[in-house]
Each structure stands twice: as structure tokens, then as C-alpha cells.
Chains A and B, each alone.
Chain A
Amino acid sequence: MTTNSRRLLGLLVFGALAGGWLYAAHALWQTSVPSNLKLPHVDMSSLVSASQLHRAQHFSLILDLFSLAGLLLPLVVLALYAKWGHRFIGESAAGPIGTGMLLAMLGLAILWMATLPSNIAELWWLRRYGIEKIGYTEWVIGTWYGLGAEFLGICLTILIVMGFARLLKDRWWLAGAPVFVGIALLVTFVQPYMSGLAPMNDHYALVQAEKRLAKEEGVGNIPLKVENVGTQTTAPNAEAMGLGPSRRIALWDTMLDGRFSEPQLEFVVAHELAHHKHKDLWKGLGWYALFAFPIAYLIARVTKRRGGMAVPLAVPLFLFVWVAFPMVTLPIDNAFSRRLEAAADWEALQATRDPNGGKELFVSFVRTTNENPNPPAWDSILFGNHPTEAQRIAMIEAWQQRNGG
């Protein structure tokens, strides 16, 4: 085969892969929200008091600054570590993979230390507004244990990446990316069993409503559970978890403390059921898989200048790309997530046919979370994985207009 024909074949393969990638991305991007839906303007000051709005705007602005620090600090720290991290090679008597694990763990350890002050300041801010209840010592100890879990995770990652790199050289990413997707699949499946979910014993009416809504949405039997977080936070939340037989809906116990009415809770449950109906967890995995291959390929290319992922010298650079790349794709990941959430809201409206319950819920969210219902665009792009409360209320009003409400 001549050089030209090899190049042509390479281009054809690349074109086919790129086409497949775009097709998959397009398929995942589809939503059940009508494409011609026009969202009306919502005047939040008619729904929430001026003082509450001001409080939410002030709270969110400072929180956004902490979130920005949380984005930028790791980039700076890991960029410096990528440059000088190899100096710690001398602290290891292990082989290449063991040394790679040590370098990766030390990178995360340094990152933990560097971000500790801003994270404590963020906790102070959340405590000041009554969102977090956890004490500083308890929080630091918790993050210490969390760091231990991160160490184990990064060691497994290094074992996979360096193990394949030693076997397959620069083509490790072809085997590595599917393994990471497999791990993500496993984690999504087992998450409900690892989250310490409790049965919902004290809310018979809500359990019955969930069964009715599940039937309405055609998702079969999905257990409704409670996640006990009330000793640590006052923030309300709910999650759709699991795949197939492990599917669950988990309501944080902070949603069941009397601040939310029965119709509001039913709207939340309908929204989470919609995630299962739309197979959003599968879509999330598909989205992750779409990016797993390019990121693994990029890492393989970038680390080549340090000798490739078979040698520990490349690990600090690997860590930087591993953390930086998801930050680059954050805006598009958030946009994808917002589309899934908007579709779940739409489905919840169709199932409950209770726009008032939904509207009251989102107003209650502003009161209980202090989040700005109408944040600036950059905030939504960088941090908004759900539509803003104003957008969610606007969608309800649009639904009402369509359905003669």
C-alpha cells in the first residue's frame, strides 16, 4: 500500500468515526420538549419578595465566585504539578505503575491542600445562609476520607491506563476508553445500593402517588426511597438512580420536612420518574462514552512528549489533562444536562397536569436554596446543569398556554 492510499484510508476511517460520533451526539441531543415552544418572560418579583430576590442574588454571586475558584484553582495547581511533579519520582521504590500511582495521588493531595482554604470559605458562606449544617472539623474530616476514595479511584485509573500503555504502547486509549465506560456503567448500576437509601415509611400518600405516576408515565415499578442528609444540609434535592433492576427514586429527607406541599412533592417524583422514562441515565452514559474516547486519545497524544503513559514521568501531565479536559467541555455538558432536565419537567407536567404544583415548587426552591432564579448567562453556561428557576416557571406557563390553562 502506498503512502497516499494509506493516508486516504486513514482519512476515510477518521471520517467514518467522526460521522458516527456526530450521529450519536445528535441522537442524544434530541428532546421531547416541543421545538416550537416559546418561553414567556417571567417576572420573578411577582412570585418572590424583593428582599428574597436580593438575598438570592447576593448569595448566588458570592457562591459563583467560589465556584469559579473551584474551576480555576485546580487548573493552575495541576498545570504547575504537570511541570514539576516528576520531582517526586525519587519518593518511590515501586515499579513504573506503582510510581505512577504515587505521583497521581500526590497531585491530588497537593490539589486538596491548595483548594482547602477556598472550600472552607465556601462552607462558611453556605453555613451563613443556613444551607449547610455540617461543622468545619466534621467537614474537613469528611473531605479527608473523600480524598482517600479519590486516591483509590486514581490508582485504579493509573493501573488501567499504564497497564494498557505497557501492553499496547500509544494505542492504549482504544482499550482504556471502553474500560472506563464499563466502570461508569457499573458505578451507575450499583449506586442505589451504595447510597444508604431508606424505605419511605411515613409518607403513604406520596408512595401511592408515585405508583400512580409511574403507571401514568409507563415506567413500571420503581421504588421510592429516602436519602438521609438532613443532619448535614437543609438543601432540598431528589435523584433518579440506577439502571434496570437497580432503578430507584431518592428524595432527600430535607424535602420531607414540611417545607414542600404534597402537590410539589408529586411534581418532583414525576420529574424523577421522567428521567427513568427517557432513559436519561443511559443517555448520560452514552454522553460520557462520546467524550471518553477523544479524551483518552488526547491524553495519549499529549503525554507522548513525556515518553507516553507507560512511564511514570507522564503521570503529572496526564493528571492535568484528565482534570482540564472535562472543564473545557463543561459548557456543552451543562447544556446537555439542561435539555434532559427540561424534558423531565415537561414530562412531569404531562403526567401530573398540575402546573400550579410545579410553579410553587420552583418558587419554594428559590426560598429554600437561595439560588438566583435568573442568573447571568455565564453562570448558566459554566455551572447550570438545570434550567434556571425562571426558565422552569416559564416552561410551565408555556405548557399552560398550550393546554388552555
Chain B
Amino acid sequence: MNEHPITLHVMDDLRRSRLTVFFRGLLVLPHFIWLYLWAIVVYIVALLNWLVALVIGRPAKPFQRFIAAWLRYATTVFAYVFLIANPFPGFTGEPGSYPIELEVPTTPEKQNRLKTFFRVLLVYPALIVGAVLMYATYFVTMLAWWVALITGRMPRGFRDLGANAIRYLMQIYAYLLLVTGTYPCSSPYVGISLGAPVVEGAPAKKASAKK
């Protein structure tokens, strides 16, 4: 069993541009601002979605698609800042545009009303695990920054650890924002697909097979 509705596809070739690595923390600033502004709307939409899900037993489709696009976008921004991918991400969260891509269901699924009502509390255990994982990722990114700056490549282990942290974080968000009723899975083998490296310069494509 290694499937989860929220799956991260990694098609990165481990090559890193030293110039963009050096300035990564600043280059991501416009993305942080856009992510934050978009997040404000997402949280309003999520609140409405929560009410809809309580009434009809599943989230509303337009809300689901809107939140899914934000989750895809947030994934690319986190991947960029944590050096998990090399290219500068786009601002729209469009599928198939980045070597690190989050597969998110855009069709809402039936969800248990009781679990929906208590969703904010239910997510707490996962949040604690996610926080620990993110702290580890911050530390690893600091090491990886030096390695990538010197060698022009990202060590695979560092990359995969960061990818897993992001995958778990996005599963938490997706659960919290009602995109899925499936609880985040902390196993590093579930909900992640480490595909073949993309050809340099070619547009990213989804991995064809899951592990």
C-alpha cells in the first residue's frame, strides 16, 4: 500500500544553478508575497468549504479546484526555497509546469461530517510530526545550500528528504483544507513518486508510474 490521494511527483535532475542557489532566499520573495496573498483568499474559501461540506457531505467542486491550485503552487514555492528543484516556479500552480509536482484530486470526495466538523483538532498530531520534519529540512537545506553552491548539484538524499517533508506538509494542508479525507501519511514510501530525471531544459512531465 503506497498510494495516497495527495502524491508528490519528483522529476528533478539534481542539477543546480550556483547563481540562483546563492540568491535563492531573495529570489523567492515575490513568490512568498503572492503565496501569502493567495493564502488569505484560500482560508476564506476553506471556511466556506467547511460549511458546505458539513451541509452536503462533500466539498464544493469550484472551491476544491481553487484550493488544489494553491496547494500545487505552494509545493513549487517550497520546493524552490528548500533547493528541492532548480527552476524558478510559475505563479499560477498550473499542472505540468514544474519538476516537483503535487497530484491533487480536483473532484471532491464524500467526507464524514463528524470528521469534517472536528478537522482542525484532528490535524494536530500530524502537525506535530510535520513540524519536526520541517525543522530537519531547514537544517538539511542549510547544509545543502553549501553543497549545491560548491558542486552545482543537490545530493539525492538531501533532495529526497526535503521532497518527503514537503509531501507530508501538503498532505496536512490538503487534509486541513478538506481537499481529501485521507489522513496524512508519515511513511516516506507513501504518496511520493521519484520519477526519472527530466531532460535539461525540457518542460516537466508527470512521472508515468508510481512506486
Assess A93 versus B201: contact at CB under 8 Å? Given A98-B91, A152-B29: no
Distance (whole angstroms) from the CB of A236 to the closest CB of chain B:
33
Stretch at the interface among A6-14, A19-27, A102-110: A102-110
Judge whether A92 is part of the interface by a CB distance below 8 angstroms.
Answer: yes
A81 CB to nearest chain B CB (Å): 12
Q: Contact at A102–B92, with CB atoms within 8 Å?
A: no
Taking CB atoms, residues of chain A closer than 8 Å to B99 are 93
B17 near A91: Cβ-Cβ < 8 Å: yes
From 182 to 202 in chain B, residues with beta carbon under 8 angstroms from any chain A beta carbon are 200-201
Q: Are A93 and B88 in contact (CB under 8 A)?
A: yes
Contact A93 B26 (CB under 8 A): no
The residues in A between 140 and 175 inclusive whose CB is less than 8 angstroms from any CB of B are 144, 147-148, 151-152, 155
Does B55 touch A at the CB level, under 8 Å? no
Query: Are A92 and B88 in contact (CB-based, < 8 A)?
Result: yes
Q: What is the CA–CA distance of A152 and B91 in the complex, to the nearest angstrom?
A: 15
Q: Which residues of the partner chain B approach A151 to less than 8 Å between Cβ atoms?
A: 26-27, 29-30
Query: Once the chains bind, are B97 and A106 in contact (CB under 8 Å)?
Result: no
Closest to A159 in B: B30
Closest approach, in angstroms, between the C-beta of A144 and any C-beta of chain B? 8
CB distance from B64 to the nearest CB of A (A): 24
Measured between beta carbons, the chain B residues less than 8 angstroms from A94 are: 87-91
Could you tell me if B20 and A106 are in contact, using CB atoms closer than 8 angstroms?
yes
Task: Tell me if B23 is interfacial: C-beta within 8 Å of chain A.
Answer: yes
For the complex formed, measure the closest distance between the CB of B80 and the CB atoms of chain A, giving whole angstroms: 9
Establish whether residues A148 and B29, one from each chain, have CB atoms under 8 Å apart when the complex forms. Answer: yes
In the complex, what residue of chain A is closest to B17 when comparing beta carbons? A91
Give the Cβ gap from B24 to chain A, nearest Cβ, in Å.
11
Q: Is the interface of B mostly helix, strand, loop or mixed?
A: loop
- Selected from B22, B23, B201, B204, the residue in CB contact (under 8 A) with A90 is B201
Tell me the interface secondary structure of chain A in the complex.
Answer: helix
Q: B33 on the interface (CB 8 Å rule)? A: yes
| Closest-CB distance, B154 to chain A (whole angstroms) | 14
Q: Which of B33, B88, B98, B204 contacts A102 (CB 8 A)?
A: B88
Give bound CA distance, A101 to B30, whole Å.
9
The interface residues of chain A lying within 8 Å CB-to-CB of B171 are none
Cross-chain contact B26 with A147 (CB below 8 angstroms): yes
Category for how many chain A residues contact B: 20 to 34
Please encode chain A, from 55 to 94, with 1 for each CB lying within 8 Å of some chain B CB and 0 for all others. Answer: 0000000000000000000000000000000001011111
Residues of B within 8 A of A98 (CB): 88-91
Judge if B19 is at the interface, Cβ distance under 8 Å: yes
Distance of A147 Cα from B29 Cα, bound (Å): 11
> What residues of chain B lie closer than 8 Å to A105, measured between beta carbons?
23, 26-27
The yes or no answer to A258 lying at the interface (CB within 8 A) is: no
Partner of A109, one of B19, B30, B76, B90: B19
Given contacts A90-B201, A93-B89, contact A106 B26 (CB under 8 A): no
A residues in contact with B203, CB < 8 Å: 93
Q: Which residues on A sit within 8 Å (CB–CB) of B33?
A: 152
Residue from B26, B30, B90, B200 in contact with A95 in the complex, judged by beta carbons closer than 8 Å: B90
For residue B86, CB closer than 8 A to chain A, the reply is yes
> In the complex, which residues of chain B have a beta carbon less than 8 angstroms from the beta carbon of A92?
87-88
Q: What's the minimum C-beta distance from B135 to chain A, rounded to whole angstroms?
A: 24
- Report Cα–Cα, A109/B17, bound state, in Å: 14
Q: Across the interface, which residues of B come within 8 angstroms of A109, CB to CB?
A: 19, 22-23, 26-27
Measured CB to CB, the nearest residue on chain B to A99 is B88
Q: How far is the CA of A230 from the CA of B66 in the complex (A)?
A: 50
Name, among B19, B20, B88, B90, the residue most crowded by chain A CB atoms within 10 Å (CB to CB).
B88
Residues A112-133 near B (CB distance < 8 A): none
With a cutoff of 8 Å between Cβ atoms, the chain A residues found around residue B91 in the complex are: 94-95, 97-98
When chains A and B are docked, how far (Å) is the Cα of A138 from the Cα of B10?
39
Hey, which chain B residues are within 8 Å of A93, CB to CB? 76, 87-90, 97-99, 203-204
| Contact A152–B17 (Cβ < 8 Å) | no
Chain B residue nearest in CB terms to A144 = B26
C-alpha gap A110/B17 in the complex (Å): 14
Shortest distance from the beta carbon of A148 to any chain B beta carbon, whole Å: 5
Q: For B204, what are the chain A residues with a Cβ–Cβ distance below 8 Å?
A: 93
**Hey, which chain A residues are within 8 Å of B201, CB to CB?**
90
**Bound form: Cα–Cα A99–B89 in Å:** 9
B1-51 with Cβ < 8 A to chain A: 17, 19-20, 22-23, 26-27, 29-30, 33
Report the separation of the CA atoms of residues A151 and B26 in the bound assembly, to the nearest whole angstrom: 7
CA of A105 to CA of B204, assembled, Å: 23
Which single residue of chain A is at the shortest CB-CB distance from B86? A91
A90-B201, A93-B97, A93-B99 are known contacts. Are A102 and B90 too (CB-CB below 8 A)? no
The 10 A-B pairs at the shortest CB distance, nearest first, are namely A93-B87, A94-B90, A92-B88, A155-B30, A102-B88, A109-B23, A148-B26, A93-B98, A98-B90, A91-B17
5 additional A-B residue pairs with CB within 8 Å, beyond A97-B91, A144-B26, A147-B26: A93-B90, A98-B89, A98-B90, A98-B91, A102-B27
List, sorted by A's number, 25 A–B pairs whose CB atoms are closer than 8 Å. Answer: A88-B17, A91-B87, A92-B87, A92-B88, A93-B87, A93-B203, A94-B88, A94-B89, A95-B92, A97-B91, A101-B30, A102-B27, A102-B88, A105-B23, A105-B26, A106-B23, A109-B19, A109-B23, A110-B19, A147-B26, A148-B29, A151-B29, A151-B30, A152-B29, A152-B30
